[in-house]
Structure 1
Amino acid sequence: MYVRIRNYAYPRPVAIAGVQLVMACSLLYYAIGAPGAIYVASVVMGSCYGAHWAIVPSAASELFSLKSFGAIYNFLTLASPAGSLIFSGVIASGIYDYEAKKQNSMKYNIVHETDKLTCYGTVCYSLTCGILSVLCIIVASLSMTVVYRTKRVYARLYGNSYT
């Protein structure tokens, strides 16, 4: 019995959406503060991040062809440090500082500008992980929108079995 791979093919943005949903679930798991969540979230997030970087270049070449792949790949590579700057440098640090000031003011009833702020507990990053989880869900829905809008491209690539 001969089985053609094209009969079971699916677009790569579907895989991206799946990875994003798994990332969203692991971030929500950390945000609720379950015991040992940092270990589970770290392993799952690292695996999903690696899967994402394995899928995205091939999806970009599939959708935009290899003609301008170098420029597109460099643009995709810039997304990681830009996201780190925005989310780690601005959002996560701002929320962490807010929670640390709140904890410090409860402890000492006054906060000076020169005080070292340290936040304790899962509350320090719960809101940040919640925000990132919502963004992962948005990305998954946008990936599925790409799948819907590129039906004809994938029908041409994989034959009529996709449509």
Structure 2
Amino acid sequence: MLAQVYNAVCQGKPSNFLLVLALLPTLVSLSLMSLVRIHESAATADDKKHLNSLSAAALIISTYLMTLIILDNILTLSTLAHVSTLVLLLLLLTSPLVIAIKAESENMIKKTSVTFSHERANPLLVTIDEEEQDMNILQAIRTVNFWLLFLAMICGLGSGMATINNMSQLGQSLGYSSLEITSFVSLWSIWNFLGRFGAGYLSDYLLHTRGWARQVLTAATLAAMSAGHVVIASGFAGNLYLGSMLVGVCYGSQWSLIPTITSEIFGVRHMGTIFNTIGIASPIGSYILSVRVIGYMYDKEASGNTCFGTHCFMLSFLVMAAVAFFGFLVALGLLFRTRRFYQTVVLRRLKYVSIQGK
């Protein structure tokens, strides 16, 4: 969206665009905060219907943005065209609000005719609660599972962040135009979103229908990310399009999977603290791979301050491919360690919730 704002309103005026970046997020939050409410009603089938509508709206918006980015690479759009596409984008962005208002209206109607009974204790739920322990951060960091998840995320999130941090120099060294490089960065955001959305949906589906722990998908995305780094290292024509898509989708997938895995393994009571502690893996991995690997190797290959050719980043991305593959092996280790826990606790809890919802 911000790229469209720049093209339609701030093109040629970077200072105005920086002002928009500084003010827009805060203004949006302040203007919409009065709409946030706490609802204590029980979940219903209608909730899923409205959530599916929100998901569909998000996919439509991302598809529209991706189409605009591709068109910018193929065609030279006029200022009027940029303004028109921005207006349509803003209209699309109002669709989630329309869905929320409709859901709230339906909920208010039901409240007048439906009463809720008190929940009764269930022996199965009590048994599950006894087996599941809500750990605090000090208890969590004493477990092997915490450090396996942390190490896997250093490999995955760190190599993914290192890729986007160096996308500009990477594109220049391979001879891509400034417009193409800008497009890579914009498309990365869409791949990132699709990874978060798709991994969340797919991991839920596999867990509920096949009983597969979410670590299966974590390991798969790390393996695919390793392949993406190899594609970028190869330097063949169009490699950044395919490589950035693979790495971007997998990077987003891992951000979607980490909080859910954290809550399932360590409990929900201190989940926020534990998740954000594991999130430190991203800047740590990014620093090691961006500065100590990519930066160091680029400086060795560069003549002066610039470097052109596949050799500039080939070795560093092969190193990152190896790091991501190591993360895949670590994720497999976490999968085997938690397999019994998912079978005896997580799946039983999901079965209980499913029975209660019928």
TM over 0.5: yes
1:20 correspondence with 2:228: no
Letter in 2 for 1:37: N
Which whole-Å deviations, capped at 9, do the CAs of 1:94-116 have from their partners, x for residues lacking one? Answer: 0000011xxx3xxxxxxxxxxx3
Q: How many residues align?
A: 141
Which of 120, 124, 129 is matched with 2:312 structurally? 124
Shift of residue 43, structure 1, vs aligned partner: 1.6
Percent sequence identity over matched residues? 30
Counterpart of 1:55 in structure 2 is 257
- Partners of 2:217 and 2:306 lie apart in 1 by 39
Alignment of 1:133-148 (within 5 A): 133-148=321-336
Shift of residue 6, structure 1, vs aligned partner: 4.1
Shift of residue 68, structure 1, vs aligned partner: 2.1
Counterpart of 1:64 in structure 2 is 266
Shift of residue 9, structure 1, vs aligned partner: 2.2
Letter in 2 for 1:56: I
More displaced 10-residue stretch of structure 1: 6-15 or 49-58: 6-15
Which of 147, 153, 158 is matched with 2:347 structurally? 158
Shift of residue 7, structure 1, vs aligned partner: 4.6
Instruction: Structure 2: state its 5+ residue gaps.
Output: 1-206, 349-358
Counterpart of 2:298 in structure 1 is 96
Shift of residue 79, structure 1, vs aligned partner: 1.3
Which whole-Å deviations, capped at 9, do the CAs of 1:20-53 have from their partners, x for residues lacking one? Answer: 0110111111112221111211122111111110
Instruction: Structure 1: state its 5+ residue gaps.
Output: 105-115
Which of 283, 286, 292 is matched with 1:81 structurally? 283
Counterpart of 2:138 in structure 1 is none
Counterpart of 1:108 in structure 2 is none
Shift of residue 15, structure 1, vs aligned partner: 0.5
Letter in 1 for 2:326: I
- Partners of 2:237 and 2:331 lie apart in 1 by 32
- Partners of 1:77 and 1:145 lie apart in 2 by 20
1:38 correspondence with 2:237: no
Which whole-Å deviations, capped at 9, do the CAs of 1:66-99 have from their partners, x for residues lacking one? Answer: 1221221111221111111111122110000001
Using CA pairs below 8 Å that are at least 6 residues apart, which structure has the higher relative contact order? 1
Shift of residue 135, structure 1, vs aligned partner: 1.0
- Partners of 2:323 and 2:287 lie apart in 1 by 16
**Aligned Cα RMSD in Å?**
1.4
- Partners of 1:12 and 1:39 lie apart in 2 by 28
Letter in 2 for 1:52: Q
- Partners of 2:263 and 2:330 lie apart in 1 by 18
Which whole-Å deviations, capped at 9, do the CAs of 1:125-155 have from their partners, x for residues lacking one? Answer: 1111111111111111111111111122111
Report SS of the residue matched to 1:150.
helix
More displaced 10-residue stretch of structure 1: 5-14 or 45-54: 5-14
Pair member with larger Rg = 2
- Partners of 1:98 and 1:7 lie apart in 2 by 51
